[in-house]
């Protein structure tokens, strides 16, 4: 797979491989088979939480698109990140966009993909223009509040008494297709409602429909969606080998249970396809080593055999976890080496994800000691409202009447201060 020129039919098959759904497949066929030009695709990511190993899933499809000769635009959606329930201040989001660019390039290099036909676009570089702003107003005049809310339901964070920004978010994502000049948009199947909104709404403001390519949602390590906000559900790109081992030991993997198993999904959508991209014949391999006396290693070249072995407990959760742990550590090594070698990347990482401030320690207020009325001078001294002291013996407790006098009366280690 890594070498020979693909025919138009092979390119089309590779673009659609492992996708859960394609809307307007005829657009793809027209561009690739009839016009015989590179398909222009965009994938957007709101630059909020730290990119994790779940990002390998869209990266594998982007690797397929590039291999199929597509031109790929990656939208670093800084303004979307800000609009999504204001997850981060706009200044931080801009630093995060730079951090995402470093990570995505490194992820693609790690799987051996040429970046020549890859283009990064910062959302704020065009989304603040007068033309784009006018398009947002135009689209908002033809899309109802109900439809905008429904479109963003699975993507924009849902809260009570939500701000209007959550309604603007899907309108902008639709408009990006036109302003980026693409034939198709790629994303997870959780984006489907935004994609259908784009198909229905763009023609109403005079813009053409695009094709939409959807990846299945891959479960996290704890089951459910892989989330940047749940540290145990995902492995960070910069996690150490020991942290990877610890998280995978805790990962959810019931014996014989294939559905909703995040580990098996990771093998299916990341590890086998990466191995296939690297293999001259395009055949993926995933290996689970066994202890001495238990037989040789279990070698899988297709996901169905692996799933069957897991159902029958020939492949145990422990063996699967061990195989994935080894594969992920190897996968992350070149990325982490690149990070360690780049002072600029390290600097951006600190700015993008500054450590949370330490909680302030409350100082204990000293309670005035009640010395009673019998200590020397107790009855003779009176404190006035202006802070001065009257009464017999005031010279012993008064520092001085003026600043100069006070300074001359204060001595440190026997020396005037």
Which residue is associated with the tokens 């055949």? 283
Would you say 29 and 12 are in contact if contact means Cβ atoms under 8 Å apart? yes
CB atoms inside a 10 Å sphere around CB 277: 18
Would you say 262 and 226 are in contact if contact means Cβ atoms under 8 Å apart? yes
H or E element in which residue 334 lies:
helix 317-341
Tell me how many helices (H) and strands (E) the chain has.
Answer: 17, 12
Residues contacting 252, CB < 8 A, separation 6+: 221, 222, 223, 261, 262
Instruction: Tell me how far CA of residue 29 lies from CA of 65, 195, 203, 262, in angstroms.
Output: 14, 19, 21, 33
pLDDT, residue 228, reads: 53
Question: Which letter, b or e, does each residue of 22-47 get, where b requires 16 or more Cβ atoms within 10 Å of its Cβ?
Answer: bbbbebbeebbeeeeebbbbbbbbbb
Q: Can you tell me the distance from the alpha carbon of 243 to that of 215, in angstroms, rounded to the nearest whole number?
A: 28
Residues contacting 295, CB < 8 A, separation 6+: none
Q: Which of 61, 50, 66, 63 shows the shortest CA–CA distance to 102?
A: 50
Q: Can you tell me the distance from the alpha carbon of 177 to that of 185, in angstroms, rounded to the nearest whole number?
A: 7
Which residue spans of the chain are classified as CATH 1.10.240.10?
231-352
Would you say 20 and 215 are in contact if contact means Cβ atoms under 8 Å apart? yes
pLDDT by residue for the chain (417 residues), tens only, comes to 455 789 999 999 999 998 999 999 999 999 999 999 999 999 999 888 888 888 988 998 999 999 899 999 999 998 887 776 455 677 788 899 999 999 999 998 888 788 888 999 999 999 999 999 999 999 999 999 999 989 887 766 656 666 787 888 899 999 999 999 999 999 999 999 999 999 999 999 999 999 999 999 888 776 655 555 556 668 999 999 999 999 999 888 899 999 889 899 999 999 998 898 888 777 899 999 998 878 899 999 999 999 999 999 999 999 999 999 999 999 999 999 999 999 999 999 999 988 877 776 666 666 666 555 555 555 454 545 444 445 555 444 344 444 444 444 434 444 444
Q: Which of 322, 339, 279 shows the shortest CA–CA distance to 106?
A: 339
Mention the CATH class of domain 8-215.
alpha beta
pLDDT, residue 323, reads: 96
The bridge status of strand 21-23 relative to strand 118-122 is unpaired
Q: Which of 49, 118, 136 shows the shortest CA–CA distance to 84?
A: 49
Which residue spans of the chain are classified as CATH 3.40.50.620?
8-215
Instruction: Tell me how far CA of residue 203 lies from CA of 21, 142, 164, 196, 207, in angstroms.
Output: 22, 11, 24, 12, 5
Q: Can you tell me the distance from the alpha carbon of 39 to that of 30, in angstroms, rounded to the nearest whole number?
A: 10
Q: Can you tell me the distance from the alpha carbon of 97 to that of 45, in angstroms, rounded to the nearest whole number?
A: 9
pLDDT, residue 348, reads: 95
DSSP 247-314: HHHHS---TT--TT-HHHHHIIIIIHHHHHHHSTT----EEE---TTS-S-EEESSHHHHHHHHHTTS
pLDDT, residue 400, reads: 45
How remote is the C-alpha of 327 from its chain's centroid?
Answer: 21
Task: Dihedral sign for Cα 388, 394, 398, 401, please.
Answer: positive
Would you say 7 and 35 are in contact if contact means Cβ atoms under 8 Å apart? no
Q: Which of 298, 278, 276, 301 shows the shortest CA–CA distance to 289?
A: 298
- Among the CATH numbers 3.90.70.10, 3.40.640.10, 3.40.50.720, 1.10.240.10, which is that of 231-352? 1.10.240.10
pLDDT, residue 82, reads: 78
């Amino acid at each position: 797979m890594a070498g020979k020129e693909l025919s138009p039919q092979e390119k089309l098959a590779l673009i659609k491989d492992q996708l859960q759904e394609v809307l307007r497949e005829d657009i793809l066929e027209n561009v690739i088979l009839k016009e015989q030009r590179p398909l222009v695709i965009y994938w957007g990511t709101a630059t909020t939480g730290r990119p994790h190993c779940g990002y390998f899933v869209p990266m594998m499809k982007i690797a397929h698109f590039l291999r199929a000769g597509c031109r790929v635009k990656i939208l670093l959606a800084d303004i979307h990140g800000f609009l999504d329930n204001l997850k981060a201040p706009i200044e931080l989001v801009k630093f995060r966009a730079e951090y995402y660019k470093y990570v995505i390039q490194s992820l693609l290099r790690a799987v051996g993909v040429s970046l020549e036909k890859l283009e990064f676009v910062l959302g704020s570089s065009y989304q603040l223009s007068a033309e784009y702003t006018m398009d947002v107003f135009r689209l908002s005049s033809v899309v109802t509040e109900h439809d905008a809310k429904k479109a963003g339901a699975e993507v924009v964070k849902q809260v009570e008494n939500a701000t209007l920004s959550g309604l603007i978010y899907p309108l902008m994502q639709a408009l990006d297709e036109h302003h980026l000049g693409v034939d198709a948009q790629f994303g997870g199947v959780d984006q489907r409602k935004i994609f259908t909104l784009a198909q229905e709404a763009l023609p109403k403001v005079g813009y053409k429909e695009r094709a939409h390519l959807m990846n299945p949602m891959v479960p996290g390590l704890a089951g459910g969606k892989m989330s940047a906000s749940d540290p145990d559900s995902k492995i960070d790109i910069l996690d150490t080998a020991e942290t990877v081992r610890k998280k995978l030991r805790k990962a959810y993997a019931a014996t014989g249970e294939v559905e909703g198993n995040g580990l098996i999904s990771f093998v299916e959508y990341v590890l086998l396809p990466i191995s296939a991209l690297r293999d001259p014949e395009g055949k993926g391999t995933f290996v689970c080593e066994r202890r001495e006396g238990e037989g040789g290693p279990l070698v899988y070249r297709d996901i169905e055999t692996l799933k069957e072995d897991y159902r029958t407990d020939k492949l145990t959760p422990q063996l699967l976890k061990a195989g994935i742990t080894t594969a992920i550590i190897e996968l992350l090594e070149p990325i982490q080496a690149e990070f360690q070698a780049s002072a600029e990347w390290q600097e951006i990482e600190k700015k993008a994800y500054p450590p949370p401030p330490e909680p302030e320690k409350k100082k204990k207020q000293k309670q005035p000691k009640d010395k009673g009325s019998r200590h020397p001078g107790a009855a003779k001294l009176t404190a006035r409202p202006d802070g001065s002291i009257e009464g017999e013996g005031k010279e012993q407790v008064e520092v001085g009447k003026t600043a100069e006098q006070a300074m001359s009366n204060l001595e440190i280690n026997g020396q005037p201060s």
